[in-house]
Homo-oligomer: A and B are copies of this chain.
Amino acid sequence: MIVLGVDPGSRATGYGLIEKKGGTLGCIAAGEVKWSSEVPFFERVHGIYRKMVEIMRRFEPQEMAIEDVFFSKNAKSSLKLGHARGAVLVAGVECGLRIFEYSPLEIKKAVAGFGGAGKEQVQSMVKCHLRQDSISSLDASDALAVAICHLNWVRYEYEAGRVSRT
């Protein structure tokens, strides 16, 4: 099974694809979508959608795990984040993926073992989980962390005989 993890953000949207073969997790691809602030806002939003659709068609993941909403106190940031998240969700449904959402706390606990882990700690643990050293972007490692969190949940749910989270 291939899972696409996404960490949408108002400045950059991280993505990471993980394939599970038996008990082993392998990173297929990871990166971030980032645009110059000179590009009109609506084109940047569409760019996130286009990039997501491109990734989904190329790697054909069956499921998408996305970071759940972090309620910032800043309404302006929330609004921008909403645009990015909306573009990602539209792409996911459009490409027929099953969508799962996880809170930042769930993700950090799943990857680093505790909810207070910083971005660097998460990245370090993601590298250990995937046995891969070449993940440089923090947005990409955050996205891979969401995918790992989902795959942990899937394993747990399958073991418990439950398969639907939505």
Whether A90 pairs with B93 at a CB distance below 8 angstroms is no
Partner among B40, B85, B166 whose Cβ is within 8 Å of the Cβ of A166: B40
**Among residues 79 to 105 in chain A, which have CB atoms less than 8 Å away from a CB atom of chain B?**
79-87, 89-90, 92-94, 99
- Count the A residues whose beta carbon is within 8 Å of the partner chain — how many? 31
Interface SS of A by simple majority? helix
Q: Given A40-B166, A99-B42, are A86 and B75 neighbors across the interface (CB < 8 Å)?
A: no
Identical copies in the complex: 2
A86 to B78, CA, bound (A): 12
The chain A residues found within 8 Å of chain B, CB to CB, are 40, 42-43, 45-46, 49, 69, 71-87, 89-90, 92-94, 99, 166
